[in-house]
Amino acid sequence: MKKAAIAALVLVLLAPMLGLLSIGVVMNPAVTNQANCVPSDVMLGPIPDSLKVTMKHGYTFTLNKQQLTHAGTIITTGANTPGVGRDGILIALMAALTESTLRQLANTGTYPESGNYPNDGNGSDHDSLGLFQMRPQAGWGTVAELMDTTYQAKAFYGGPDGPNYPSPRGLLDIPGWQQMDKGEAAQAVEVSAYPDRYQNYEPVARTILDALTVRGSGNGSGTPGDADIPETSRLVFPLPTGTYVRTSTFGPRTDPISGESSYHHGTDWAAPDGTAIFALADGVVTYAGMVDGYSGQITIEHTIDGEKVATKYIHMWAHGIHVTSGDRVIAGQHIGDVGSSGYSTGPHLHFQVHPGGAGSTAVDAEPWLAERGVEGTEAPAGGGPGCSF
């Protein structure tokens, strides 16, 4: 019983190359759709340092912050996967609790290289890996893919955009899973030799989901209500003064690779790899990770001028993401580092502003920032990152 392999098709808009600083920055529709297709009002809140939980048969134990952080990944991934909803997230938590007790397990006996990836210990169940104990030999993914917790969560949920569609089956690929007992639904994905174990963790999964989430505003956006995010006290430009050069503006453009017309939903600023990225305003991180294992992204929800606003910061390397979903951040906080992950031609920040929340349409960030007195200072001519892409 082991599963998992994430995935999703990634459609992207590239940023152009300007002058000697040819940096192409990319906008990934999969990133946008992630917010637009949120199926429920489930949203991750702050992650506690520990949580005491009790199983169906009465056994009580305590989960630590690392385990709860993995639970947060499962929750956020489910909240951003159309068709999953709260029940689907419960089933996924039950499965991961049963399979690994919410630990990302390597398996160095079968795959020595798995120990080179971030992990919470070593498992030894045949060739199984990770939170959901997914098996490379069963077709769920490579060792590298299955040692990524977000990939495993996406693989468990499955669906037509899943990497293994139509087989191995994820939860969304199980006909009538919504009407099944939750333990039976977990077993239908895991195909375990011990199918009755999952029900024991349903009370634990419910405790986790209740403790780690806040209800949204009821508009299906999966984002918090205004009461959950206090009005920000200030706004801060997302890059340090003099470190960046604009390489692509918001709106229609010619794709620098394909040469075709496209629409760019953000603003690209080229900056040296590793340049600090700052949170625009006080807020709550609603996504932090590699979208489809491919492009680093942070999404933050704010309350600005009495309005819900989301900002997105895209193309960080995995090691350059310094926050996790549920974190509360303050304006100017160092949340990540400039990178070039995803479909990108060089280090840059792709920045988006979404008045109304992450599920709303992006607007041109530069005039929006200028109207609020937020203006950065670009590097002098020739002072950019000097990318040769």
DSSP letter at 245 equals E
pLDDT digits (tens, 9 = 90+) for 36-85: 333 345 777 788 889 999 999 899 999 999 999 999 999 988 887 888 88
Contact between residue 32 and residue 66 where contact means Cβ atoms under 8 Å apart: no
- Cα separation of 239 and 3, whole Å? 40
DSSP code at position 129:
B
Instruction: Name residues of the chain where pLDDT drops below 70.
Output: 1-41, 214-228, 256-257, 292-293, 381-389
8-state DSSP, 84: -
3-state helix, strand, coil in the chain (%, to 5): 25, 25, 50
Residue with token string 């491919």: 294
DSSP state of 320: G
Q: DSSP of 130-167, one letter per residue?
A: TTTTB-GGGTS--HHHHT-HHHHHHHHH--TTSTTTTS
pLDDT at 29: 30
Q: Which domains does the chain have, with CATH numbers?
A: 42-215 (no CATH), 226-371 (2.70.70.10)
The rounded distance, in Å, linking the Cα atoms of 52 and 125 is 27
Closest C-alpha to 70, from 240, 229, 289: 289
How far apart are the C-alpha atoms of 116 and 188, rounded to whole Å? 31
The predicted structure's pLDDT at residue 194: 79
Give per-residue pLDDT as tens, 234-268. Answer: 899 999 999 999 999 999 988 766 778 888 889 99
